[in-house]
Amino acid sequence: MDTLIANHGSQYFLAERVSRILRLGMHFFGEGVASLVPPLLSLTTTAFNSTGFSSYLWLLGKTVISYGSSKNVEIQTAIQNAYTTSSNQVFAMLKVQTPADIPDGT
């Protein structure tokens, strides 16, 4: 998934599909993939920062819904870092664009 997002994550259609697949995987595998949450959040945060695609933020929210109550310190730290980094990016975008001017990929 890292290579796919690194090479093609700037294509909106692909970003949407990858986000959907990852969300479904989290739902299907549940706690069995909890160890993948920190690298997943790092990957999607980096992808959002470089593309601004809302699908990466959406995946961040779905990850918090699924794993936000985890007692695992690594997961909690990854969530905090992802939200901090993504929020900073959104605020930076809002300094130069109005919310209506920020594309959602459609």
Mean pLDDT of 34-38: 95
Q: Can you give the residue ranges of every domain in the chain?
A: 2-98
pLDDT at 105: 55
Handedness of CA 21, 46, 66, 94 (dihedral sign): negative
pTM, entire model = 0.85
Predicted local distance difference test score (pLDDT) of residue 10: 87
| pLDDT greater at residue 71 or residue 97 | 71
